Structure 1
Amino acid sequence: MPLLACAVLGLAGAAATGTAATTAACADLEIVFARGSGEVPGLGITGTPLVSDVKSALPSASVSSYAVDYAASYDQTSAAIGIRTYLGTGQTIPAELAPRVVAVIAFGNPLGLYGQTIKTAT
């Protein structure tokens, strides 16, 4: 099963220091999307329509997107590589950014091939 993970960040106000969001003016909403395993770089077959649908559903809001830069290979066993390209670390979302996260959605889990699951925070 391909990995398709999406983090939707509400970024109203000041830019998030140390993230890709600092390279441009902040949008009302930024969608950070990691394409599925085996897909070419970009938002992928799920991320592209997701971003389009969110923009259509929120016509009065500015919506931007960021395609996570990672290998998206079937043998990749960690999301840390993709996390580093957006947050600069392989750790969890920094505490100062966490309140601005609207949702995190996983559309698939290649760890299931190894009998593992995605860990959740409590």
Structure 2
Amino acid sequence: MPVGTTSRRPSIHFAVAAAVLATSACAVTPAVASAAPKCSDVEVIFARGTDEPSGIGAVGQAFVDTLRPMVKGSTVGTYAVQYPASWDFLKAAAGATDMSKRAQTTASQCPKTQIVLGGYSQGAAVVDVVATSPVAGLGYNAPLPAAVVPRIASIVVFGNPSARLGQPLTRMSPDFGARTADLCNTNDPICSLGRDFDAHVRYQQSGLIQLGAQWAARHINVRT
């Protein structure tokens, strides 16, 4: 479960993540411009996993619920990345576009808001694209401008398919690696060479939600 290390790489990184998802049996149940954000002290922009209903998903909600008491005195808003989260994994590029647009909108309209990017499973692959792709490609059409990069306080991903190939965000993103927690449950086959598919749906019981929230809170508090 790599946490932190240290230019973003092209969108081929997303193609690798999509390939891993397509060949792994994931056991979990059109990008648009983001509306004007309500300015909170912290905004968590989170991409849900495959087949989860619209919203930030169960892992995302657990992450936010755990984070809030760790940043007492700060308001924590959420934004659910809009994308299909379907078995057509290449459409995750739409999620990356929406996540990036939301981060850019929040950075522009809420200059004091600290931004946390997060994702679970296919949602983690969405974050991979935003964090590693400085140019458009493969359906991703809203790369983060360099000026927005410092506005991302932290990144936390769970069950990241790229980690299965030894390419966690802590290693693949020079811009964000030192601010990133790339967390993989023991024997989760989506993010490791393990074979316990149940591990992929046990993040709430694994202790990694707590670890991820602590990581984000540490970086938020440092920047407050």
TM over 0.5: yes
The within-5 A match list for 1:79-118 is 79-88=92-101, 90-110=141-161, 117=167
Q: 1:92 to 1:79 in 2, by over 3 A?
A: farther
Q: Secondary structure at the match of 2:89?
A: coil
Give the equivalent residue in structure 1 for 2:88. 75
Tell me the distance in 2 between the aligned counterparts of 1:118 and 1:112. 4
Of 23, 30, 43, the match for 2:43: 30
Tell me the distance in 2 between the aligned counterparts of 1:103 and 1:59. 17
- Matched to 2:87, the amino acid is Y
Give the equivalent residue in structure 2 for 1:7. none
After TM superposition, the score normalised by the length of structure 2 is: 0.40
- Matched to 2:153, the amino acid is V
Tell me the distance in 2 between the aligned counterparts of 1:112 and 1:28. 31
After TM superposition, the score normalised by the length of structure 1 is: 0.68
Greater share of residues in strand: 1
Q: Which runs of 5+ in 2 are unaligned?
A: 1-23, 27-32, 102-139, 175-224
Q: 1:79 to 1:118 in 2, by over 3 A?
A: farther
Contact 1:80–1:91 at 8 Å: present in 2 too?
A: no
Contact 1:77–1:111 at 8 Å: present in 2 too?
A: no
Q: 1:116 to 1:81 in 2, by over 3 A?
A: farther
Deviation at 1:52, TM superposition (A): 1.1
Tell me the distance in 2 between the aligned counterparts of 1:103 and 1:48. 17
Q: 1:48 to 1:63 in 2, by over 3 A?
A: same
CA distances 1:32-59 after superposition (whole Å, capped 9, x unpaired): 1000111111111100111111112112
Greater share of residues in helix: 2
Contact 1:38–1:73 at 8 Å: present in 2 too?
A: yes
Q: Which runs of 5+ in 1 are unaligned?
A: 3-18
Contact 1:35–1:43 at 8 Å: present in 2 too?
A: yes
Two-structure CA RMSD over aligned residues (Å) = 2.8
